[in-house]
Copies of this chain bind each other. A is one copy, B any other.
């Protein structure tokens, strides 16, 4: 393919990015080398063609100690848009080195939601200094946003939006948009409001473009609209956007007045984070951000591990009950971890499915009972299959029918325990308004460990197994 045939084919960033849109290691190294050599011009020339999201990635891929020099070299290429795209920890790292006035300058270039994201994590005193350095309008908007709870719609929304009165025509609206230079261009729908500034309808821009100017806007707008209460949690906002395939939505206060707008591009990373965080929470890795200061990471993970150490000791004390049985027949110690471990695996499967189903609103009070029976049937089928397999395996290796029968029965029992626990633990936690992703795994594995040891060693003791 020649350049003349397809003038637009090679996108400007294709040299820096690999096929997965990630910055190539050679490119990252080239920038680092330029900065290390003090050749700021070369570094800037390399970075200049990048999209702000890629410049943000570049900072994330740069070790902590090299970020300051990189920022100095890039100067104004590190602009507000880049900060808006950056990982929270990396941004904090860089923001810490700026004066309040510099931060205020950045914030004033951004929509409210992005400005809030930059300012909300600062120390109280720094935050106040930045707010003082902002012009009064921006300050008021940001202070209002900060008055809403963290991770609520009020923090996510932007105040820049287009609202028109419900008595206007389509032509009025177009004239208004053309006549006011200062209006935002970052909108996809316009909101129609009544005299009390309550939203009464939403209009896609395509409808406005395709309708003659003399038609009343009230005849074009869609009256069934999905409004977002300003104090709604961002996870619910994300689910609502997803469920109703929204591009933007009006945010209303408790008196149902239009106070802001959320657009889907601010929601996609929340959808991604919220959906991905279950993986991390279930494993006790906290928010699992690789840019988090290592001290925080150790604290989060260690807390979880210590809790698990406690429960592991409880499960082990069950083994202690049967110490004399094991002393008389050490083979039991070889097989025992298989029963507990397989129960843990089966329980984790059920848990993952149930936690996801709760998070995506697929599992509700209407189908919980059905779900319990579903998991019980799966557990019975798998327990039977695994029981037969481990029974056969045990018979082949150790040549003892009694041992084979005991382990098969224990395996079946522990699978049923895992299936039941895997549903009931997260469902119960959810009903108690505890996030099931955070603490279910501890309960379920304690259950399967304990039951695994108890059923296997208990049956062996009852049967009187010995070497």
Contacts and interface: CB of A to CB of B under 8 A. Distances in A.
Given A241-B268, A330-B326, A290 B8 contact: no
Contacts of A288: 352-353, 356-357
Contacts of A351: 283
Given A8-B256, A316-B337, A346-B305, A353 B280 contact: yes
Given A21-B361, A177-B210, A393-B313, A282 B279 contact: yes
Contacts of A393: 313
B313 A338 contact: yes
Interface in A289-332: 290, 294, 297-298, 301-302, 304-306, 308-309, 312-313, 315-317, 319-320, 323-324, 326-327, 330-332
Given A241-B268, A333-B333, 16 more contacts: A7-B200, A11-B224, A21-B239, A57-B361, A87-B362, A178-B210, A209-B209, A242-B272, A247-B264, A276-B356, A284-B345, A297-B378, A298-B381, A312-B337, A316-B335, A326-B330
Interface of A: 1, 5-9, 11-12, 20-23, 25, 28-29, 51, 53, 57, 60-61, 63, 87, 174, 177-178, 183, 185-188, 194, 196, 198-200, 204-212, 223-224, 226-227, 236, 239-247, 255-256, 264-265, 267-269, 271-273, 275-276, 278-280, 282-285, 288, 290, 294, 297-298, 301-302, 304-306, 308-309, 312-313, 315-317, 319-320, 323-324, 326-327, 330-338, 340-342, 345-346, 348-353, 355-357, 359-367, 370-371, 374, 377-378, 381-382, 385-386, 389-390, 393, 445, 449, 453
